[in-house]
Structure 1
Amino acid sequence: MCAVCEFKIEFGISHPLALSVAVATRKAIEADLIEAIDIDEGALAAARKRMAAVEALNLLQARIEDAHTEACLLDLPDFYVLLIENDTWGFFHATTEGFDPDIVPEIPDVTTTEEAKRSNIVIMSEAALRGWLAGRFDVEHAFRESLFVIDGPQIHADSLTRMFYATEPATVAH
Structure 2
Amino acid sequence: MCAICNFKLDFSVGHPLALKIAVAARKAIDAGLIDAVDTTEGALSAARMRLSAIEALNLLQARVETAHGEAALLALPDFYVLLIENDTWGFFHATTVGFDPDIVPEMPDVTATEDALHSNIVITSEAALRAWLDGRFQLARALEDDLFVIDAPQTHAASLTQMLASAEAATLAVG
2:143 is aligned to 143
- Quote the Cα distance in structure 2 between the aligned partners of 1:56 and 1:12: 21
Q: Give deviations 1:98-151, integer Å, cap 9, x for gaps.
A: 000000000000111112210000000000000000000000000000100011
Give the aligned residue type for 2:51. M
1:2-13 mapped onto 2 (5 Å cutoff)? 2-8=2-8
Q: Give deviations 1:7-50, integer Å, cap 9, x for gaps.
A: 25676670001110001000100000000001111111000000
CA 1:11/1:45 → structure 2, altered by over 3 Å: closer, same or farther?
closer
Give the aligned residue type for 1:141. R
**8 Å contact kept, 2:13–2:87:** no
Q: Give deviations 1:43-79, integer Å, cap 9, x for gaps.
A: 1100000000000000000000000001000000000
Instruction: Check if 1:156 corresponds to 2:156.
Output: yes
Give the aligned residue type for 1:113. T
Give the aligned residue type for 1:87. D
1:19-168 mapped onto 2 (5 Å cutoff)? 19-168=19-168
Offset at 1:168? 0.5
1:18 is aligned to 18
Identity %: 68
Structure 1 residue runs without a partner (length 5+) = none
Q: TM-score, normalised by structure 1?
A: 0.95
- Quote the Cα distance in structure 2 between the aligned partners of 1:119 and 1:104: 15
CA 1:103/1:12 → structure 2, altered by over 3 Å: closer, same or farther?
closer
Offset at 1:94? 0.2
Structure 2 residue runs without a partner (length 5+) = none
- Quote the Cα distance in structure 2 between the aligned partners of 1:10 and 1:111: 18
Offset at 1:171? 4.3
